[in-house]
Structure 1
């Protein structure tokens, strides 16, 4: 599929929103939109139809440097701004996002393809980071104590780390931006943001909302590009940039950590996942199915926290499969702007090819497609929601993150073997456990090598909780108090008290 496809289901109101964002001047630097110095643009497409949504300014190293110039100039004043003032600005940004839920949801659905229900849910989740960190901004993090040897007092305080480079993915274009911008601004940092080239419109909308809420020019800057290596490489080589926060694939994360190491740049990494979903023999099967539908099919399965492999006890596997399969078959696939759509397209043709290869591999190893929804007739990047059974533990879809609407089921009987399979991955972001015995579920969850475990619920993300993983799933935590600490440096004073 190419951008010459003429089908366009995006409402006129969304095109009007895009026009107001002025994507041709989509480099948002020092409070104003500017065109790329190269004069280059790139197309932003609706993945459901291939219709062109916008020609967006395609930035490069020059725009990256200009963004840091603006952020560095704005940093002293913003860092010195009273925490209460910073808090009120973030609170107003939350209110503006909530007020514009429908507009922002439709914008995300157009460029990302997610259903409108998923879009609305993301706006609420994304906005909540601004409200949460508006409340954290005024809570000083420090200490005062007598030293153990006596004669001195130790005073501990913190300062904003400085200009922060933020790199976000396409799957949650609002929430991944606010989850980083919120704590950075609350801590007193200024930021340069590079959103994914597939979804730059939402990032631009968020930046404009922040400035409407009172964020001074230069505090939040956005560089949109199809050459992310040039932009982010420029930032990591710039001595004024003291923090990098990245959400994306583990492979790119490793590369960025290597670049950050050259200048010892403070780094936070939220990387890939391969989440297990465990169903115990005493689980409430109806509740487990409801949780599985959320954990697997939220955002069409294109989430790092998505359940990727289902371990269902053999005694309940038939019931779970029948009920889960029926729910999957009922899913309507299509454009977000078609009535009743629950699952939208994948982000690209490459994503469809990759997911198809994983399913084909599983089938070649003896797996069976037990249930499948009907796909969309539109000329987009669609993949039908699919349930696989009899999946061997060594299938590629078990070993690798599928990032799409396919659920493979592996049955289990032995708990020790189950735990070994659950932890047999280089990733450790999210996981899910369903059981009627809370004590067993908690004891089992403690043995899972993952940063987050949903127990009898199919979602783990919460702005008030520390989001992050073990092993190759990343470094550091976002959200909660830890999210703000990630944008601060600790300093202490040793005071003579004799």
Structure 2
């Protein structure tokens, strides 16, 4: 099954082995390439260009040259092209899902869900781009009239991660394009094929040359490429999803030109279950939230706090559910958990588990490599977790649940907020007053109440504290790519 699926990917017309710059498919200046590997077995799928900073500067130049033309189109004209991009993605849904599973590893059914999720942002912003309204403002003088209009920021650099390589591009690019901003997309080195497939479909949709660009590079060149995107005075805005460490570096680089920047960074989400919670609902939500994409999502709960009266029952039921999860190659029938993305990811999971066990955590299930070895790791449940363990302060980004017991509401809130991150949080309770108290008290940008799956194009996505700046999706997401201009008309 897996071999046939990979062959299907290799034969797909969406599989591109060149970067897309200025409306042309191109190699790197020095002809260097890097391999894209299947995380299930680390075998090479194909190679793509290892672009240099000079190549990226050219992509920026191409985008800069067309910024006024693209921004000057009527919103309806721009959004019509964005809409055609959406239709192309929907048309090629299955081919995109196969490419995604091949390079990222997630189960094929989950990849199909991501393709639909990615398409939803294109559809949303193809509509929202026609509603970037200004305002008329009550005047302070009889002979003056005041108003605001919104205009595109300009060329936008988009640096995206490997965990949702389709959706994280469309959530940014669709908003920027609908706002009137040409884009230069730099996908993660682990998952460039999804990005190139999207560029292929953007070309088919009819974006003018230079409006949509995609540059690929290896880990060895990511620093110089990132610096080019952040330092170029022709890039007006930069949007990044990834680690807080890299986000801070980019923020510092962008400060030199006071560049508009939006950041969706690390998380350390608390998952709080109170004694009055519906245990079955809480367990179902925990599995959905934690084990989506094998725990490799930024809103995955990382710290589980369960009140003492319900603790043992919750852990028993959660163990039963975890042990039913099927770990296998993403193309295998029935697979629910795929591999982690690479060797570094598996080493981090092992380090977190080993540290927790050495400091007193109890293993209820898992804590060993998966049946296929390599980057596979069995879903794991630990109890007796405490704040001295590394997994409570670092984002694990893997299929590990660590449960701590608490007594009072105040204790749970204090523990939940004891982190420099603030992306998401989860509450399970049947008390309306308690739900409101905790939802307002949690220091994070997204709160799930009796619900484990939070993401939708309708709602804003973003965090507090060191989890980032700005919001993506919803009516707020397009604002990241617009400037507000105030116009004062005198002597009227």
Give yes or no for TM over 0.5. Answer: yes
1:54 paired residue number? 46
Q: Match for 2:440 among 440, 446, 449?
A: 446
- Cα pair distance change 1:335/1:470, threshold 3 Å: same
Residue 12 in structure 1 maps to residue 4 in structure 2: no
Equivalent residues in 2 for 1:74-223, closer than 5 Å: 74-223=66-215
Provide the TM-score with structure 1 as the length reference: 0.96
User: Aligned partners of 2:274, 2:84: CA distance in 1, in Å?
Assistant: 45
Q: Deviations over 1:274-295 (max 9, x none)?
A: 0011111111111111111111
User: Aligned partners of 2:280, 2:388: CA distance in 1, in Å?
Assistant: 29
2:265 paired residue number? 271
Residue 427 in structure 1 maps to residue 421 in structure 2: yes
CA contact (8 A) 1:8 1:49 kept: no
CA contact (8 A) 1:9 1:335 kept: no
Q: Residue 34 of structure 2: SS of its match in structure 1?
A: strand
Q: Deviations over 1:121-143 (max 9, x none)?
A: 11111110001101111113201
1:334 paired residue number? 328
Give the drift of 1:228. Answer: 1.4
2:342 paired residue number? 348
Q: Residue 458 of structure 1: SS of its match in structure 2?
A: coil
Give the drift of 1:149. Answer: 4.4
CA contact (8 A) 2:16 2:197 kept: no
Q: Deviations over 1:206-232 (max 9, x none)?
A: 111122112112111011001111112
Q: Which runs of 5+ in 2 are unaligned?
A: none
CA contact (8 A) 2:16 2:196 kept: no
User: Aligned partners of 1:9, 1:354: CA distance in 2, in Å?
Assistant: 32
1:3 paired residue number? none
Residue 29 in structure 1 maps to residue 21 in structure 2: yes
Q: Deviations over 1:20-60 (max 9, x none)?
A: 5331xx21101121011111110000000111101111101
Equivalent residues in 2 for 1:324-403, closer than 5 Å: 324-372=318-366, 375-403=369-397
User: Aligned partners of 1:173, 1:11: CA distance in 2, in Å?
Assistant: 18
2:410 paired residue number? 416
CA contact (8 A) 1:428 1:449 kept: yes
Q: Deviations over 1:86-123 (max 9, x none)?
A: 22222222222222222111111110011112111111
Q: Deviations over 1:309-341 (max 9, x none)?
A: 111111111111111111111111111111111
Aligned residues: 489
Give the drift of 1:189. Answer: 0.3
Q: Deviations over 1:229-250 (max 9, x none)?
A: 1112112222111100000000
CA contact (8 A) 2:14 2:95 kept: no
CA contact (8 A) 2:16 2:193 kept: no
Q: Residue 486 of structure 1: SS of its match in structure 2?
A: helix
2:252 paired residue number? 258
Q: Residue 272 of structure 2: SS of its match in structure 1?
A: strand
Q: Residue 425 of structure 1: SS of its match in structure 2?
A: coil
Q: Match for 2:64 among 52, 66, 72?
A: 72
User: Aligned partners of 2:77, 2:260: CA distance in 1, in Å?
Assistant: 26
1:300 paired residue number? 294
CA contact (8 A) 1:326 1:371 kept: no
User: Aligned partners of 2:176, 2:358: CA distance in 1, in Å?
Assistant: 48
User: Aligned partners of 1:444, 1:308: CA distance in 2, in Å?
Assistant: 18
Give the drift of 1:414. Answer: 1.0
Provide the TM-score with structure 2 as the length reference: 0.97
- Cα pair distance change 1:236/1:288, threshold 3 Å: same
RMSD, aligned α-carbons: 1.4
CA contact (8 A) 1:328 1:373 kept: no
Q: Residue 325 of structure 2: SS of its match in structure 1?
A: coil
CA contact (8 A) 2:53 2:225 kept: yes
Q: Residue 446 of structure 1: SS of its match in structure 2?
A: helix
CA contact (8 A) 1:332 1:374 kept: no
Q: Residue 303 of structure 2: SS of its match in structure 1?
A: strand
Segment of structure 1 superposing worse, 268-277 or 310-319: 310-319
User: Aligned partners of 1:373, 1:436: CA distance in 2, in Å?
Assistant: 33
Q: Which runs of 5+ in 1 are unaligned?
A: 1-6
